[in-house]
Amino acid sequence: MRAFCTPVDLDVDCDGVRFKSHWYNSAEFRRTGIQSEVAKRTGFKLPGYILPLAMRYLWVEVKGKLIELEASVRVRIDGADLNVPLSSLEAAERDRKALKAMTRESAEAAHVEARLKFEETTGQSWDAGCRRTGSPKRATGITRHEAELLDTKRGTRRQA
């Protein structure tokens, strides 16, 4: 394997091995216990090998031993869908990154639009207000009388 496969560094976490947004795992790999060792670490990598035209399987080196891992999916699909070349994985990852970037840009644009609409509607800056702490003052005068009328109308206050 080491002679004719392409060497790569593979990300490892508690779910398995990730390569180009695809997950790989096997029973033999789980038996090594490496996943529980790296569960609390971030950015843990292991050396591995891939066949660029057949990305259904890859091999990872754990303690000097090569272990074959099969692509695993979180949804039920036909097994033939896992037989993809590396170029397809790279294209899918490029598309996913572009979509994430567009999502970030549109979220920022929506935030800016909301601020502009607020300033246009109210004539005040988005950050112009201030927050007051404490309890509000008790109602007096006409305001108190209106509140009492509403309470009696709703039946929430007992009449004298």
pLDDT of residue 25: 87
Residue 82, pLDDT above cutoff 80? no
Assess whether pLDDT exceeds 60 at residue 157.
no
Q: Tell me which of 76-90, 100-114, 125-139 is least confident.
A: 76-90
Of 133, 134, 157, 129, give the one whose Cα is nearest residue 145.
157
Please tell me whether the overall predicted TM-score, pTM, comes out greater than 0.85 for this model: no
Q: Return the pLDDT at 78.
A: 56
Return the closest-CA partner of residue 48 out of 66, 70, 22: 66
- Give the residue extent of every domain in the chain: 6-84, 86-123
* Phi, psi (rounded to 5 degrees) for 72: -120, 145
How many alpha carbons fall within 13 Å on the CB side of residue 34? 22
Kindly state the helix (H) or strand (E) to which residue 98 belongs, with its residue range: helix 86-122
